[in-house]
Amino acid sequence: NAGVTQTPKFRVLKTGQSMTLLCAQDMNHEYMYWYRQDPGMGLRLIHYSVGEGTTAKGEVPDGYNVSRLKKQNFLLGLESAAPSQTSVYFCASSWTSGRYGELFFGEGSRLTVL
């Protein structure tokens, strides 16, 4: 009964390096989301997907790219990491649009960019 699984859980990068965060859900959810959480800023939506093969920009998409090649997976990429991208990243999924409230979150991926 895994739910939403994020890998890796921790990562340290140097400025300019690239990396990919992987999110996998086993609940057959259509919608998937990537958020970042920063002190005093709360959760902010980076990108989201309403189904396999689709992606859309959220509130803070700059510096990130995403892909949803399979329904169960949602990848978040950083092409050239910057210190401002130091954050905790959360993946979430849901059955329907956000208006029904129930997002299922992963445990987070803590990224530090030096």
Positions that interact with another protein (CB under 8 A): 4, 31, 33, 40-43, 45, 48-50, 56, 58-59, 90, 92, 94, 97-103, 105-108
Cβ contacts of 22-28, under 8 Å, gap ≥ 24 = 22/73, 22/75, 23/73, 23/74, 23/75, 23/76, 23/91, 23/93, 23/106, 24/72, 24/73, 25/72, 25/74, 25/91, 25/93, 25/104, 26/2, 26/72, 27/3, 27/93, 27/95, 27/104, 28/71, 28/72
Nearer to another protein, 17 or 88 (CB): 88
Nearer to another protein, 69 or 99 (CB): 99
Nearer to another protein, 62 or 99 (CB): 99
